[in-house]
Amino acid sequence: MSCSLSFLSYCILLLVLAFCNLPLEVESRAFFVFGDSLVDNGNNNYLLTSARADSPPYGIDYPTHRATGRFSNGLNIPDIISEQLGMEPTLPYLAPQLTGDRLLVGANFASAGVGILNDTGIQFFNIIRIGKQLEYFEQYQRRVSGLIGAEQTEQLVNSALILITLGGNDFVNNYYLIPFSARSRQFSLPDYVVYLISEYRKILQKLYDLGGRRVLVTGTGPIGCVPAELAQRSTSGECSIELQRAAALFNPQLTQMLADLNSQIGANVFIAANTFTMNMNFVSNPQAYGFVTSKIACCGQGPYNGIGLCTPLSNLCPNRDIYAFWDPFHPSERANRIIVQQILTGSSEYMNPMNLSTVMALDSRT
C-alpha cells in the first residue's frame, strides 16, 4: 500500500513539475523590443558595423547552432520572454522576412552598441540609435496600417508588450570608454546620471506617444563586474567600484522616473525591472545558481577571458551552462533564463510596480 502511494505521489509531482514548465497561456499580442546588444536579435547583421555577433562561436547553443546576431551562446532575454509567454519570437526589423502577417507578431528594433545618448557607441560606426529605432517603429505602424487598417494597428500597438534596455553603454562605451572622455570632462558622474535620466524620460515619453501602453524597462546590470571590466580594472577579481557606483546611482533614479511617468499618465504603463539585483545574485554567489564562475567569460581571451571579442580563435568553455557570462559583456543563455524568471514572477524587490505574470493576468481580464 505504501509503495503504491509513493508511486502516486511521484506521479503527482511529475505532473506539477510539467505544469510549471508550460508556457503561460496568453491571448495573442504583439511584442516590440528596443535597445542594445542585450536584446538585439540580429539587426546589426544588416549594417556595416563592428558591433556584430554573426559569426561562430556565437549561437553555438541556438536551436540551429548558427550565429544569428544575438550576443549570446543561444537565446537572449526577448527570445526567452516570448518562449515563456507562448508567443512567436520576433524578427529583427531589418530582416527581409519581416513582411505580411509576420509583422503582426511584432518586431525587434534593438541594435548593439547604442545608448540613451546619440554619442554613445560612436566607435561602432553604423548602428541604429534609439531615435532611429523609434522612427522605425513609426514606419512599422504605417506598414501594418496598410495590412489591417489604422484602427486595428492602433489596437495592436496599444495591447502589445514592449521591452526596452538602455543605459549600460552610456557608461562602458561612453563615459568610461577612455580616460578623460568628452562626457566625463563635461559632467561629474552624479550630474551625468541626472542628464541620462532626463534624456531617457524623453525617449519613454515618445514611446508612449507612439502607442506603447505596457513597457518593461530594465535597469543596468552590475557593469563593474563583467569580465571585460575585471580584465581592465581589477587586480584580484573585485568589481570596479566606480562602475558599480554608476549603476547604483542610475538604477534607483530610473525606477523613480518611471514611477513619476506613471503618475503623470495615471496608469502603470512603465514596469521597472531591477536587473542589477537579478544579475548581482549570481555574480556574488555563482555556486548557488549552479555556475562555477561569474568572473571568467566562457568565450574570450586574456585575463578572465575579458579582452577583445569572442571569435573562432577565442578560448571557449565546453559547458556554457556553468558560466554566468558568455562573452566579456553578455550573460549566457542560462543566466538570461534566471533573469527572465525574475521578470516573470519576481517580488517587488525585482519588479516594480508588478511582475510580468501579474501584468499578463491583469491584461487578460480587460
79 is catalytic: no
Position 359 pLDDT exceeds 50: yes
Burial zone of 199 (CB within 10 Å; 0-12 exposed, 13-18 middle, 19+ buried): middle
Q: Among 33, 249, 56, which residue's Cα sits nearest to residue 137?
A: 33
How many Å apart are CA 4 and CA 7, to the nearest integer?
5
Average confidence (pLDDT) over 149-172: 98
How many structural domains does the chain have?
Answer: 1
**pLDDT band at 27; cut points 50, 70, 90:** low
DSSP category for residue 62 = S
Is this prediction's pTM over 0.85? Answer: yes
Average confidence (pLDDT) over 217-225: 97
Position 15 pLDDT exceeds 70: no
CA separation, residue 322 to residues 118, 293, 294, 305 (Å): 36, 7, 9, 15
**72 lies in some domain:** yes
**pLDDT band at 309; cut points 50, 70, 90:** confident
Q: Among 352, 184, 100, which residue's Cα sits nearest to residue 91?
A: 100
Provide DSSP, 131-196: HHHHHHHHHHHHHHHHHH-HHHHHHHHHT-EEEEE-SHHHIIIIITTSTT-HHHHH--HHHHHHHH
**305 lies in some domain:** yes
- Share of the chain residues as helix, strand and coil, in percent rounded to the nearest 5: 50, 10, 40
Return the pLDDT at 186: 98
| Domain encompassing residue 53 | 29-364
CATH number of domain containing 171: 3.40.50.1110
At how many degrees (to 10) do helices 77-84 and 333-345 cross? Answer: 50
Q: Out of 111, 234, 327, 332, which one is annotated catalytic?
A: 327
**18 lies in some domain:** no
Residue with cell 491571448: 27
**168 lies in some domain:** yes
Q: Express as a percent the part of the chain with pLDDT over 70.
A: 92
Position 320 pLDDT exceeds 80: yes
**349 lies in some domain:** yes
Beta bridge partners of 217: 164, 272
How many Å apart are CA 213 and CA 131, to the nearest integer?
19
How many Å apart are CA 317 and CA 179, to the nearest integer?
32
Q: Are 35 and 108 in contact (CB under 8 A)?
A: no
H/E stretch holding 270 reads strand 270-273
Q: Out of 37, 82, 111, 332, which one is annotated catalytic?
A: 37
**188 lies in some domain:** yes
Q: Out of 240, 294, 330, 332, which one is annotated catalytic?
A: 330
37 is catalytic: yes
How many Å apart are CA 301 and CA 316, to the nearest integer?
9
Cell digits of residue 321? 551552462
Residue 129, φ and ψ in degrees, nearest 5: -65, 160
Average confidence (pLDDT) over 293-319: 96
- Where helices occur in the chain by DSSP H, the ranges are 2-20, 77-84, 130-148, 150-158, 168-170, 182-186, 189-209, 227-233, 241-265, 275-284, 333-345, 356-364
**11 lies in some domain:** no
**20 lies in some domain:** no
Position 283 pLDDT exceeds 80: yes
How many Å apart are CA 1 and CA 34, to the nearest integer?
58
330 is catalytic: yes
Return the pLDDT at 235: 87
